[in-house]
Structure formats: structure tokens, C-alpha cells
Amino acid sequence: MLEIRHLKTLHALRESDSLVEAAERLHLTQSALSHQFKELEERMGMPLFVRKTKPVRFTSGGLRLLQLADAMLPLLRGAERDIARLVGGTAGRLHMAIECHSCFQWLMPTIDQFRDAWPEVELDLASGFAFAPLPALARGDLDLVVTSDPQEIAGLTYVPLFTYEAMLAVANQHPLASKPFIVPEDLSTEILITYPVERDRLDIFTRFLEPADIEPAQVRTSELTVMMMQLVASGRGVCGMPHWALHEYSSRGYVRAKRLGEKGLFATLYAAVRADMLDAPYMRDFLLTAKDTSFSTLDGVSAVR
């Protein structure tokens, strides 16, 4: 009666808290996912979750199937890894770089899981801020680059990991804290705190300020997210940051998170890989692990549509 896809859909619904987000994560339409749940509930003879609740409330039957999913899906993933090793071998190299300071928050757990599953793959991680990582990837010096700024370079493929919203952190007492959203002109008198990278790699410049021909009053840099939040909280400036990195501080009331523009400023994070490496079993597994980890640990990310 039960199929693996049923367990995966229930698991996705619990992790995403809505049918819409679960459908995005599974790359299904909401209609197709609703039909799949209806079919499963007819087979089980009982409802599995309460409609129109947020977060989703599961019935006793739904909770029992989630227990089964938690037991079975890791075993399935492990078996797939073992088979991949038998088919493609276990040894290899995965040297990567990141172009995102706040990515360490979810990338390190991903690497820890991957290292346990593929102990014979040589792992190395470097910051992509001191050199140009995408040309290095194309040359073969690297095997994967995490970036939100894809470039047209022959031989490179960009695998979307997730979509996120870039937001502005302001002090709780800041005049901008009471606005429903931020417009570029609001930053013309502000000190903008950024990571120490080129302006053309920062969305708040390339997609928010520059199209409106607006310059902040001053730009200040810091390498540490916690230091940036301390400066913002003490009224020393404002800071653009991905929602997932900002949520830890805004949810505790240290700072306020404000939307950039009435409709928000959204971006996609990619894993850049050489085309010849995409089919390597350990590379496929790393990409799946990265997606799973980001969806389970980061607030406010969604599947790429």
C-alpha cells in the first residue's frame, strides 16, 4: 500500500509547513501534491493532517507514517550511496570554494555528513574572496563553487540550491524600523555595513541601489556576521544580509529585518560544477545533501521554481 514517494511527501510537508512549499521542494504542482495526499489518505482510510493549519498539524496516522519516514528514508539514502560506491568507486576529490560569508552556517554540517558517507573522497574548503573561484573551477583547480553570481564560462554548470530573500538589518530604534519596506532613497543617508567583497558581488548594490542611482552615505566592512549585527544593534549602521543569516538575530529581538523594496529582493544560490563532474556519484550525493541540509536548517529558503 505504501510507497517511498508517500513517505517523501509527508516528510517534505513537515519540513516546509505548507502544501505550497512542499510542492516546490518536491518539484510538483500543488494540485499534483494534493492529489497524491488524497490518494494516500484513501488508501489509509483516514486523514493524515489537518488542512489549512500553519504550522501543519498531523493526525495520529500522519505522525505514525512520519515515524516510518524518519526510519526508512535515511536507510534508503544510505543504500543509494553504497550502490553508487559499487558502481563508481569511492575515491575522488572535492575541492570547493564559497563566495558567501554566511554560507558556513549550513555548509559545514553538509560537509560533516558528506565526510562520514564518503571517507575516501579528498575534501578541501577555501574562501572564494581572495581569488576568482569560477575561473579556478574551469581550470580544474577546484571542483565546486558556491555562488549567487553565475557567470557564462564554458564547461561550467550551475545547479540551483535554493532561493532566498535579501533583507536589511536595522536597529530596533532606527527610524527605518517602522517602515513596511525599504526603498533605495532610504539608504542615501545611512552607513551601509557589508562583507569585504567587491560591490559587483553584492545584491544590495547591483540590484537595489545602483538601478536607482543611489549611493549610501558611507560604506563600512566587516568579515564577521556577529560583529555586523553588533554594529547594527548599536546604531552604527544598517546591513544587507540573507534572511536565513539575519533570522537568528531578528528572531531574538536584537535587530529588525526589513524587506528591500515592496516586493522584496530575492536571489538564488548555486553550486557551480564542471559538466564532466556532475555524474560522479559523490558529487551527486554532495549536492543532494547540501539541498537537504539547507532546507532543514535555514529559515526562509525555498525551492527554485
Residue predicted with more confidence, 176 or 54: 176
Chain centroid to Cα 195, Å, comes to 18
3-state secondary structure of 154: coil
- b/e 122-131 (16+ beta carbons within 10 angstroms → b): ebeebebbee
Q: What 8-state DSSP symbol labels residue 277?
A: G
* Domain boundary assignment for the chain: 4-84, 91-161+268-302, 163-266
The Cα 292–Cα 235 span in angstroms is: 36
Q: What percent of the chain has pLDDT over 90?
A: 42
pLDDT at 130: 61
Distance between CA 273 and CA 96 in Å, rounded?
Answer: 10
Preceding amide of 175 cis, omega within 30: no
Segment 246-254 shows an average pLDDT of 91
Higher-pLDDT residue of 134 and 55 is: 134
Q: What is the pLDDT of residue 168?
A: 97
Are 177 and 258 in contact by the 8 Å Cβ rule? The answer is: yes
State the pLDDT confidence band at 209, using cuts at 50, 70 and 90. very high
Q: Residue 52: is its pLDDT beyond 60?
A: yes
pLDDT (0 to 100) of residue 128: 56
Helices 243-250/104-117 angle, 10° precision = 110
Rounded Cα distance between 64 and 67, Å, is 5
Name the CATH code of domain 163-266 (choices 3.90.550.10, 3.40.50.300, 3.40.190.10, 1.20.1440.230): 3.40.190.10
Average pLDDT score over residue span 144-170: 92
Two domains, one topology: 4-84 and 163-266: no
Which regions of 171-264 does DSSP assign to beta strands (E)?
A: 191-194, 218-221, 238-242, 256-259
Tens digits of per-residue pLDDT, 60-112?
A: 999 999 999 988 888 888 777 767 665 665 668 899 998 877 777 778 888 88
> Looking at per-residue confidence, does 55 or 129 come out higher?
55
Stretch (H or E) spanning 104: helix 104-117
* Domain 91-161+268-302 annotated CATH 1.10.10.10: no
CATH fold of 4-84? Arc Repressor Mutant, subunit A (1.10.10)
How far is residue 37's CA from residue 59's CA, in Å, rounded to a whole number?
13
- What are the tens digits of pLDDT across the range 185-199? 999 999 999 988 888
Higher pLDDT, 174 or 291: 174
Give the pTM: 0.69
Per-residue confidence (pLDDT) for residue 229, from 0 to 100: 94
Residues 212-231, mean pLDDT to the nearest whole number: 93
**pLDDT tens, position by position, 2-46:** 888 889 889 888 888 788 888 887 888 888 888 888 888 888 889
140: left (phi over 0), alpha (psi -120 to 50) or beta: left
User: Can you list the alpha helix ranges (DSSP code H) found in 253-303?
Assistant: 281-297
Instruction: Measure the CA–CA gap between 9 and 15, rounded to whole angstroms.
Output: 10
